[in-house]
């Protein structure tokens, strides 16, 4: 199994617009963070795209990824869905609509903001295209399959909203969580690679802080934990040096390999 981090930044991205801090001016490419997204590729070759961030086209081109088999949406916030139109370049080459998996509230937002994608009565003019997607509602705690690959959606709190994380085999991807409830911890039992959001050093009402993320990662006990959804509060190298063994910051373009046991 293979995990590709397309983007690892917060909703502002790094560098932030108008910011002149040292991290935003850093020449270390690992300090340049686009909005969060990832691709999981299984041993059988099935590719699962997690979220459609605003920089999706640039991210997929940089990663050399030309096709995916399904999209797993975590939630409806703009930094996780507003690149959805870039899926045109993928769906136009498919013989069937691209499967979209998400909770009902996320689908409601997608249909309201991007009606041209989901309205069956809308037909693009000859010579033009639109993303072609098929909606598949999911329920956290109830597994589903994509091309024969089992996927477990996991509910985590995000302020007033709920976010869905995903476990695929021994790998789990959780972003925008404020905590991991007991049901989530149970669903993550035995996971070997964990992706977890770690927003700031100080407490935040809707996200895990770095300290909270470290504590949460240690409770899960994965062999490797990668932090994502990072801000310009930290240089990548400095954060990597201070985190406990087995816990590390991810960066855009990072590829993680997970061998089967």
Residue 160 pLDDT exceeds 90: no
What's the whole-number mean pLDDT along residues 142-146? 97
Place of tokens 């041209």: 116
Q: What is the CATH number of the domain that holds 187?
A: 3.60.15.10
State what percent of residues in the chain have pLDDT above 70. 100
Asked if 184 and 193 count as a contact pair (C-beta separation under 8 A), the reply is: no
**pLDDT over 90, % of the chain:** 86
Q: Is 146 helix (H, G, I), strand (E, B) or coil?
A: strand
pLDDT over threshold 90, residue 127:
no
How many distinct structural domains can be found in the chain?
A: 1
How many beta carbons lie within 10 A of that of residue 153, not counting itself?
A: 21
Residue 70 has pLDDT above 80, yes or no: yes
Q: Rounded to whole angstroms, how far apart are CA atoms 163 and 174? A: 9
Q: For residues 239 and 209, what is the distance between their CA atoms, to the nearest angstrom?
A: 13
pLDDT in tens, 183-238: 999 999 999 999 999 988 888 888 999 999 999 999 999 999 999 999 999 999 99
Q: Predicted confidence band at 123 (pLDDT cuts at 50, 70, 90)? A: confident
Find the mean pLDDT for residues 19-28.
98
Q: Is the pLDDT of residue 164 over 90?
A: yes
The predicted structure's pLDDT at residue 213: 97
| Position with higher pLDDT, 126 vs 217 | 217
Query: What's this model's pTM, rounded to 2 decimal places?
Result: 0.96
* Whole-number pLDDT of residue 120: 74
Question: Distance of CA 235 to CAs 12, 31, 250, Å?
Answer: 16, 6, 12
Residue 66's pLDDT is 97
Higher pLDDT, 96 or 82: 82
Is residue 209 within 8 A of residue 231, CB to CB? The reply is no
Residue 260 has pLDDT above 90, yes or no: no
Residue where the block lists tokens 């099935």: 46
Domain containing 101 equals: 2-257
- Average pLDDT of the chain is 95
d(CA 88, CA 67): 11
**Cβ burial, residue 104 (10 Å; 0-12/13-18/19+):** exposed
pLDDT for 236-252, tens place per residue? 999 999 999 999 999 99
Mean pLDDT throughout 173-179?
95
Mean pLDDT of the 108-133 span: 86
**Is residue 128 over pLDDT 90?**
no
């Amino acid at each position: 199994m293979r995990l590709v981090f397309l983007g690892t930044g917060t909703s502002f991205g790094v560098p932030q617009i108008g910011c002149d801090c040292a991290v935003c001016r850093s020449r270390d490419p690992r300090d340049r963070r686009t909005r969060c997204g990832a691709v999981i590729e299984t041993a059988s070759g099935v590719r699962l795209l997690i979220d459609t961030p605003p920089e999706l086209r640039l991210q997929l081109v940089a990663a050399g990824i030309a096709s995916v088999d399904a999209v797993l949406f975590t939630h409806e916030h703009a930094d996780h869905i507003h690149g959805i139109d870039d899926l045109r370049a993928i769906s136009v080459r498919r013989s069937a609509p691209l499967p979209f998996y998400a909770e009902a509230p996320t689908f409601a937002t997608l249909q309201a903001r991007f009606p041209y994608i989901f309205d069956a009565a809308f037909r693009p003019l000859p010579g033009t295209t639109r993303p072609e997607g098929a909606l598949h509602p999911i329920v956290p705690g109830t597994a589903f399959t994509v091309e024969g690959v089992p996927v477990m959606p996991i509910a985590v709190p995000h302020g007033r909203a709920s976010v869905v994380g995903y476990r695929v085999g021994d790998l789990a991807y959780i972003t925008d969580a404020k905590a991991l409830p007991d049901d989530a911890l149970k669903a993550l039992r035995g996971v070997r690679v964990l992706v977890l959001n770690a927003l700031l050093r100080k407490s935040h009402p809707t996200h895990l802080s770095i300290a909270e993320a470290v504590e949460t990662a240690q409770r899960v006990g994965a062999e490797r934990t990668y932090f994502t959804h990072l801000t310009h509060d930290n240089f990548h190298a400095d954060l990597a040096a201070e985190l406990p063994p087995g816990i590390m910051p991810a960066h855009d373009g990072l590829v993680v390999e997970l061998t089967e046991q």
